[in-house]
Amino acid sequence: SVVKDEGIAKSVFEILSSCVKYGQIKKFYEIVKQYKDYLTSDDLSFFAKEIFTTFYDDENLYPTTLRIASSAFSNSGTGKDLELLQILYPRYFYDLIKDSCTEYNLDEFILLGLIRTESYFDKDVFSAAGASGLTQLMNSTASDIARKLRVKEFDLLDAKTNITFGSFYLNELTRRLDGSVLKAIISYNTGITRVRRWATQFANVPQDIWIEMFPYEESREYGKKVLANAFVYGLLYYNKTSYEIVDMFMK
């Protein structure tokens, strides 16, 4: 955006710098939302990188850091670069994600795309429907998973538990849907019964057409968002070509 007043812009920049210096990151974001018009894209990009580097180990700030990076990336200007894109698509909780993907035979970029879509890497988030944690599992689903994994007690706000349960569930859905990653992701949102019914009714329809025909708009948009996020992760971190990623989803 065009800076409206250089004096106000300078004051806003100085206040934000103080917020970063003293670790007041949530206050920082509130100020950004209010005074974004007085900040350039380069300003926001600078702050996003500074916060990402300084507070990387603070899991409570992960979603706020993403929102700040999103503000920088969506703002007009020249502050868009690979480093900022990697902050916008981070690999938070990476060790847990890597181990869980190895155990349950998942591609890391798929699980990262799902977590970014579901929770924005907020390990303490609850949805209006009652889902919780990084992979946004309902307690009923988690209880069924716990039974299958022979886990007697669990806490979905524990990052390791949530990622493990979500990975197990996505693997199970993929297996039950004949290896279709696309259908498994849609099922993650709307349930396997609906997906199986629609898949049977339109068995010969290509996957890219099939998702557009799926009768539940929320699930259609959810699937597209997960795949779009996974697509970026695949390109950014895993040396995948766009053709390889699309081919994986469309099988």
Segment 201-226, tens digit of pLDDT: 777 777 777 777 777 788 889 989 99
Residue 79 binned pLDDT confidence (cut-offs 50, 70, 90): low
Instruction: Please tell me the predicted confidence (pLDDT) of residue 211.
Output: 77
Per-residue pLDDT tens digits for 228-240: 999 999 999 999 9
Q: What is the DSSP letter of 36?
A: G
Give the three-state DSSP class for 146: helix
The predicted pLDDT at position 2 comes to 47
Q: Give the residue, 208 or 152, on which the prediction is more confident.
A: 152
Per-residue pLDDT, 125: 96
Q: Which amino acid is at 112?
A: L
- Whole-prediction pTM value? 0.92
Residue 3 clears pLDDT 50, i.e. is over it: no
DSSP structure class, residue 187: H
HEC per residue, 79-123: CCCHHHHHHHCCCCCHHHHHHHHHHHCCCHHHHHHHHHHHHCCCC
